[in-house]
Amino acid sequence: MSQDHSGQPVPQITFRTRRDHEWVNLSSDDVFKGKTVVVFSLPGAFTPTCSSTHVPRYNQLAPEFKKHGVDEIVCISVNDAFVMNEWQREQHAENLTFLPDGNGDFSDGMGMLVDKQDLGFGKRSWRYSMLVKDGIVDKMFIEPDLPGDPFQVSDADTMLDYIAPNAAKPKDVTIFTRNGCEYCARAKGLLRDAGFQFEELVLNRDYSEATLRAVSGRSTVPEIFINGAFIGGAEELETYLHRAEAA
């Protein structure tokens, strides 16, 4: 079913993409020639593992990949251009390039086209990732041949560890805020100045006060969480950042 193509050129195909309501054909050379490209391929757009983990983590780690010589990160799926474009918008995955492999030609050429008729999917790609340098596959991480949709080795962290074993990983930061809160604005400024990416959740848009109390035990904002740890409000965040800087 799955084949390791390390040391071999990528298949020469044409990707039918859509840009600004126009068809744009991209050849394999357009995508890979003269560049270092990370590819991750998956069974389908909008599917659970792909949307909740695979795409978001590659998007989050994209700046770190680029610091270590990766020119582009490409997501490939056996879906059409309209579906792939909408999925990218829904995922807010601006750091990635989504390529439609609508007929499965690329996946087939990589030896990764599999039968998913039992799920009503038809032919789809097996889940894998690879590092491609100037059109030649340098390394592949292929998910094991297990039932279902295994997700063990094609993740972004495994690929980054291969490319740059000592690369720093961005912290996972979430801040609970409300509109018009000056302390929230201050906390967000502190995070930006420290170079932190963060997800902002706004009161009465993304969460209720009851949710905030359930999560942090408090009802004031801002409330900041970093890598699963509750930091507190703006003052506590400033103290945390000063300690981190001094460490």
Q: Which residues are catalytic?
A: 50
Q: Report the C-alpha gap between 116 and 121 in whole angstroms.
A: 5
Q: At residue 138, what are phi and psi to the nearest 5 degrees? A: -85, -40
Q: Which DSSP symbol is given to 50?
A: I
Helix axes 182-193, 234-246, angle to 10 degrees: 20
Query: What is the torsional sign of CA 92, 94, 95, 96?
Result: positive
CA distance 26 to 102: 13
Tokens representing residue 210 in the block = 């009851």
Q: Which of 129, 30, 18 minimizes the C-alpha distance to 73?
A: 129
Burial of 39 (0-12, 13-18, 19+ CB in 10 A): buried
Beta strands 128-133; 36-42: pairing state: antiparallel
């009802």: which residue's tokens? 219
165: helix, strand or coil: coil
d(CA 97, CA 85): 10
The 3-state DSSP class for residue 199 equals: strand
